[in-house]
Amino acid sequence: MKSSIKKMGLVIAAAGLFGSVNVLANSPISYNYAALQFVNQDIDDSNCDQDGLRLSGSLELNSDFFAVGSFSDLSDGRCGAEALSVGIGYHTLFGADSSLYGTLSVENVDIDHYDSDSGIVAAVGLRGFINQQVEAKAQLAHHTAFDGNTVLSGGIAYWFARNFAATADVGLGTEASEIALGVRMNF
């Protein structure tokens, strides 16, 4: 638990190095970003409570399509997993300050002391600003690797600088649930 708190503290401290607290975000929803999060994940059927880091990002390909990717390395003394995913997404405006999106990705999950499996991840979501500094999102995703996992997730990004945000996400899944805290940088 102590190492988990230290890791989370390092992620939050890194956010402070990259931005000024006095500048507010007034840009629209961006699909050009990189994010780093500390993740705590609970896998239902295996008595596994693992944590670690997830690096993710998105890159706009044109005004409608974007590429997505992520890598996570989570572990605890008895269990752990690495997951890598890459995919493509489509987004469209949904009101003045919101965006509706869908993604289709390929995912590979390698579980420590076990097997690995690959599958498809299909997701739909909504992102939008609830005020000038706070962006919220809701997403429904289905992962086909192993026995499958359908996840309803939500998150918040607090834009403490024009291009930098502190993030908090919660995912409630049929096979695994998680909480994540981190930072995101728009570019």
84-107 pLDDT, tens digit each: 999 999 999 998 889 999 999 999
Give the percent of the chain with pLDDT over 90.
73
pLDDT at 67 exceeding the cut of 80: yes
39-62 confidence digits (pLDDT tens): 999 988 777 899 999 999 999 999
- Give bridge partners of residue 171 from the DSSP assignment: 153, 178
**Is the CA virtual torsion 76, 79, 82, 85 positive or negative?**
negative
Model confidence at 20, in pLDDT bands (50, 70, 90)? very low
Mean local confidence (pLDDT), 111-132: 94
One CATH from 2.160.20, 2.40.160, 2.60.40, 3.40.50 for 2-186:
2.40.160
Residue 81 burial (10 A CB sphere; 0-12, 13-18, 19+): buried
Q: Where are the beta strands (DSSP E) in 27-163?
A: 33-43, 48-60, 65-75, 80-93, 98-111, 116-129, 134-143, 149-161
The residue ranges of every structural domain in the chain are 2-186
Phi, psi for residue 44 in degrees, rounded to 5: -60, -50
Model confidence at 18, in pLDDT bands (50, 70, 90)? very low
pLDDT at 78 exceeding the cut of 60: yes
- Specify the amino acid at residue 46: S
pTM for the complete prediction?
A: 0.83
